[in-house]
Amino acid sequence: MDRKGSELDLPGFRFHPTEVELLDFYLRSEVQGKKLNFDIIGRLNIYHYDPWELPGLAKIGEREWYFFVPRDRRIGSGGRPNRTTERGFWKATGSDRPIRSVADPKRLIGLKKTLVFYRGRAPRGTKTDWVMNEYRLPESFSSTSTAASAKEDLVLCKIYRKATSLKELEQRAASEEETTRESQICRSVADTTSISNQDNYRSPSFPSEYTDAKEAEPAKDAEVTSTTFRSVNLPELQVPMYSFDWLQDPLLAQLRSPWVDQWSPFANTLYF
């Protein structure tokens, strides 16, 4: 009898499969195209969404959410899957871990890759608490006859949020506080430098007496200029006219020295 997915909404029902069950039963059955009675894990390209949106898109799960994801391989990047979302990217941590059968340790069931979600763009980004375990079947499985009907390259992804320890929370708080303090110090230094530069370029202040004298100089120059070009009427100089007829007197002529005659009449005047 077929059972609908709605019948799984029963109190106390939990879905906690082991890694061997995820690979050897659920993923293998989906790749081979086998239909299960319960539609528990849905298909979704999780890289079209951010991790905090995935819990609402899963068919079941409270702390762990499962999806069948088609592998979208990028061309020109070594065939690596594209794990970039709108607001960040999934980054692999460490190498793939092989999952082997408990009954037969030599039998390889599949591989497990652990990834962490980072906000931002690669290679930089901010690490978050969202973790993904990607399970895929071994390469040898695709060459077997049982996988001949496989139409897609699928992986099974388990999404969960890592529990944050108290120590890590304290470290984050201390780091954020240190960042805030450094930001405030840098802002204070920038403000002080700006004020210092304004003081250095400020014009020097002079005493009021110098300022008043400086302001009064244009008026003085104007006054001098107006006086320089003013026309002044000066009286004509009166030069006295002297007569030298008295030098022709016979009595005075006897008293004159002969060597004085070679001088001008003014010399005779000085002589006497």
Question: In whole angstroms, what is the distance from residue 22 CA to residue 116 CA?
Answer: 20
Question: In whole angstroms, what is the distance from residue 153 CA to residue 147 CA?
Answer: 11
Give yes or no for residue 130 having a pLDDT over 90: yes
Lowest mean pLDDT among 19-28, 154-163, 240-249: 240-249
Give yes or no for residue 138 having a pLDDT over 60: yes
235 or 209, which is more confident: 235
Q: Which residues of 123-161 are buried (b: 16+ CB within 10 A; e: fewer)?
A: eebeebebbbbbbbbeeebeeeeeeeebeeebbbbbbbb
pLDDT tens-digit readout, 62-104? 899 999 999 766 544 555 678 899 999 999 998 999 999 888 8
Give yes or no for residue 135 having a pLDDT over 90: yes
Q: Give me the mean pLDDT over the 242-260 stretch.
A: 57
- The total of other beta-carbon atoms located within 10 Å of residue 99's CB is 20
With CA atoms as reference, report the closest residue to 124 among 172, 81, 89: 89
Per DSSP bridges, beta strands 42-43 and 64-70 are: parallel
pLDDT tens-digit readout, 169-213? 677 778 878 888 888 888 888 777 776 666 665 555 555 555 555
Q: Give me the mean pLDDT over the 248-257 stretch.
A: 59
Per-residue pLDDT at 35: 84
The SS3 call for residue 72 is coil
Q: Which residues of 172-189 are buried (b: 16+ CB within 10 A; e: fewer)?
A: eeeeeeeeeeeeeeeeee
Measured in degrees and rounded to the nearest 5, phi and psi for residue 21 equal -65, -40
pTM over 0.85, yes/no: no
Domain residue limits, the chain: 5-169
- What is the phi-psi region of residue 269: left when phi exceeds 0, alpha when psi lies from -120 to 50, beta otherwise? alpha
238 or 47, which is more confident: 47
Supply 82's token pair: 């594209």
Per-residue pLDDT at 58: 93
The helix (run of H) or strand (run of E) holding residue 265 is: helix 265-271
Q: Contact, 112 vs 92, CB < 8 A?
A: no
Quick one: what percent of the chain has pLDDT higher than 70? 58
Question: 61: Cβ–Cβ under 8 A, 6 or more apart, which residues?
Answer: 15, 55
Per-residue pLDDT at 244: 52
Looking at domain 5-169, its CATH class is mainly beta
Question: 112: Cβ–Cβ under 8 A, 6 or more apart, which residues?
Answer: 19, 96, 97, 98, 99, 133, 134, 135
Q: Contact, 36 vs 27, CB < 8 A?
A: no
